Amino acid sequence: MHACALTYLSDIGTGLSVLESDEAAPGPSLDHALWFHRPVRLDDWVLMDLTPRTVAAGRGWYTGAVTTRDGLLAASVVQESLFRLGAMRRAHGAAPLVDSARLSVTGW
């Protein structure tokens, strides 16, 4: 049951939400992988540390790690999502966004 819950939780969000919503918005998941390294209980504290890697050509990619209360790596995650320019940038016909919080977003 805990593995199922972790699988669900690892795919409902995005590690790309560091961009302000008026600049860019994440869309649906294109692909998602989760590796279980050891059993983890989700009725205890866990840390899901997600690292945005890039946003380009309308796609965003991030990696992550799930660690237990005692610091053991329980799972690793990778996800690619569709990404779109936010409402403010679309309304102004904005040029591609560059380097916001270590991400590069380009038009498509």
11 among known catalytic residues: yes
Measured in degrees and rounded to the nearest 5, phi and psi for residue 41 equal -105, 125
Select which of 17, 43, 76, 79 is catalytic.
79
Distance between CA atoms of 66 and 21, rounded to whole angstroms? 26
99 among known catalytic residues: no
79 among known catalytic residues: yes
Select which of 11, 17, 76, 100 is catalytic.
11
Tell me what percent of the chain is helix, strand and coil, each rounded to the nearest 5.
Answer: 15, 45, 40
Select which of 17, 29, 76, 100 is catalytic.
29
Could you list the active site residues? 11, 29, 79
